[in-house]
Amino acid sequence: MFKSKNNNNMKKFFILLFIILFSIMLFNNFSTNIYLQEFEYTYGFIRDAYSGFYILGNENWLRNKNRYKKMIKSCRNDTDYMNEMNLILKEIGDGHVNVVNRDSIINRILGILPHGFKKADWDEWIKEDPFSEKVLKDYHISYTDVREASLDSPLKYQDVHNLEARKIIDGKVGYIKINSMLEPNSSDINFRNDELRMKNFLDDGYETIIIDLRSNAGGNAFYWLDFLLPYLGIREGTSLNWISFWTDRASKVPSSYPLYDDSIKIYELDNSKKEMIYKEFPDLRSSKLDKTIFNHFNHYSRHSFVITHKENTYFNQRAYNLYFLTGPKTGSASDALIKFVKVNQLGKIVGERTKGDPVPYNPTIQMPYTGMQVSAPLTLSLPKGMPIEEFYYTDPDIFASDEVKANRRLSDGFIFKFDDALIKVLKNEGYWDYWPNSF
């Protein structure tokens, strides 16, 4: 009798164990299928909508689909999937193409909400932005998660010294180094500190200002549109006009996704539009880019970067003699600034060729199965007034290196390192030959 009871217990144990293992297998298979479906959709979207394949020469990425599917089959949860997908997308070679991770979403929220925000601020934000509720749900983010992150975040609530300013010559030459194009948000202590440092810097008075963007890989273009250039006295209405080319699938991305201007109209592109395009870009005719555009893109749109003086924001009435230092790290929104400067002849560009890759349209698109967001540039964009060979990168007006050539003591006692680019600026302005006796 005792033996029979033990046998029954053993049978129950193995049945339960089988059910558990079977359930785990079913769950894993279900999860794997979801991730494979998401991969197929993302792969198809990138293939059909991403503009960079025809610029960077990275079509080989498309041939690796089977290898990528094997990577996805190993995923058991969202974290696995996100990590594998970002490894896959990294092979494209464009930092703008990625799966937006949970920390990035939280940091975006921290940039929107005021420092020390309360539940009422959180509720008001969600009320004003209904789309945010779905994002929060898909990324499993709660008020408590964001509140806890705000207490630990070094990015949003601690000063990272993004803008560094230095008086080179009293009353004559000033130097500004900007490390990143921050989102111009008054709730971000780093942006507020950039504003404060800029105002204090400009109070000293200068004739020439050097803006160093050599380590600036980009960020938010509105940093220089709404903040930097107005502070430097660039007049309202100054603009850079673009024509952007879209693939068929990119042109159908819903207008609710965050583009710079939801009112932009997208038109069909065919051979009948060629002469119109050539008239605006004469050196496009018979170029390699000409074939790329008309072979791979079938829609176009027009849009602009325009300086608008926002209400209650600072604008400097004084015009400065401006120099912008560039290098192989100057990219994305920073390269767009350099193009803006060059087309409008706002100053001289000194240094080396930029990294390039200005991205007027780089929305985050929600994927259908996991709810994760994927960032991808959707357009090939030509800035009007730029040589066609510089549509991607930008060449300087004066070529110079960042090799340090001399150290000099400034009026405040600081020992400053002068590289080739800085020396060429000072020579161009007639100051370097008088160092150190005249100032």
Tens-place pLDDT, residues 103-156: 888 877 877 787 778 899 888 888 887 677 878 888 888 998 888 887 765 555
Please indicate, yes or no, if residue 251 is contained in any of the structural domains: yes
CB contact set of 237 (below 8 Å; sequence gap of 6+): 306, 307, 308
3-class SS at 4?
Answer: helix
Domain shared by 46 and 168, yes or no: no
Domain shared by 65 and 176, yes or no: no
Please indicate, yes or no, if residue 345 is contained in any of the structural domains: yes
Domain shared by 392 and 413, yes or no: no
**Domain of residue 409, residue span:** 404-434
The runs of H, that is alpha helices, within 232-390 are 248-251, 274-280, 288-296, 333-343
Whole-number Å distance between alpha carbons of 332 and 119: 36
Domain shared by 180 and 282, yes or no: yes
Q: Which of 81, 99, 114 is the last residue of a domain?
A: 81
Q: Which of 55, 81, 107 is the last residue of a domain?
A: 81
Q: What pLDDT is recorded for position 53? A: 86
Whole-number Å distance between alpha carbons of 321 and 431: 14
Q: Is 338 in contact with 218 (CB distance < 8 Å)?
A: no
Encoded amino acid at 138, one letter: D
Whole-number Å distance between alpha carbons of 380 and 297: 9
Please indicate, yes or no, if residue 119 is contained in any of the structural domains: no
Q: What pLDDT is recorded for position 297? A: 94
Q: Can you list the residues of the chain whose pLDDT is less than 50?
A: 22-30, 256-260, 438
DSSP codes joined into one string, 245-288: EE-HHHHTS-TTS--S-TT--EEE--GGGHHHHHHHSGGGTTSH
Structural domain total, the chain: 3
Please indicate, yes or no, if residue 276 is contained in any of the structural domains: yes
Q: What pLDDT is recorded for position 24? A: 47
Q: What pLDDT is recorded for position 260? A: 42
Please indicate, yes or no, if residue 103 is contained in any of the structural domains: no
DSSP codes joined into one string, 61-101: GGGGHHHHHHHHHT--SHHHHHHHHHHHHHTT--TT-EEPP
Domain shared by 279 and 300, yes or no: yes
Instruction: For residue 198, report the phi and psi dihedrals to the nearest 5 degrees.
Output: -65, -45
Model-level pTM?
0.85
Tens digit of each residue's pLDDT (9 = 90 or more) over 3-22: 555 556 566 555 555 555 54
Domain shared by 229 and 335, yes or no: yes
Q: What pLDDT is recorded for position 227? A: 93
Instruction: Give the helix/strand (H/E) hosting 69.
Output: helix 65-73
Please indicate, yes or no, if residue 353 is contained in any of the structural domains: yes
Domain shared by 181 and 223, yes or no: yes
Task: Give, rounded to a whole angstrom, the gap between the first and last alpha carbons of the chain.
Answer: 106
Positive or negative torsion for Cα 282, 298, 392, 163:
positive
Domain shared by 345 and 429, yes or no: no
- Beta partners for 398? 350
Q: What pLDDT is recorded for position 9? A: 58
Distance of CA 60 to the CA centre of its chain: 24
Q: What pLDDT is recorded for position 196? A: 92
Domain shared by 196 and 281, yes or no: yes
Q: Is 301 in contact with 250 (CB distance < 8 Å)?
A: no
Domain shared by 421 and 350, yes or no: no
Domain shared by 64 and 192, yes or no: no
Q: What pLDDT is recorded for position 258? A: 47
Q: What pLDDT is recorded for position 314? A: 72
Whole-number Å distance between alpha carbons of 246 and 248: 6
Please indicate, yes or no, if residue 137 is contained in any of the structural domains: no
Max CA pair span of the chain: 109
Whole-number Å distance between alpha carbons of 229 and 251: 31
Residue owning tokens 């279900």: 30
Q: Which two tokens stand for residue 76?
A: 């058991």
Q: Which of 81, 99, 131 is the last residue of a domain?
A: 81
Domain shared by 210 and 351, yes or no: yes
- Beta partners for 382? 243
User: Rg of the chain over CA atoms, in angstroms?
Assistant: 27
- Beta strands 299-306; 239-246: pairing state: antiparallel
Q: Which two tokens stand for residue 90?
A: 């990294």
- Here the CATH number for the domain that contains residue 363 is 3.90.226
Instruction: For residue 406, report the phi and psi dihedrals to the nearest 5 degrees.
Output: -160, 155
Please indicate, yes or no, if residue 181 is contained in any of the structural domains: yes
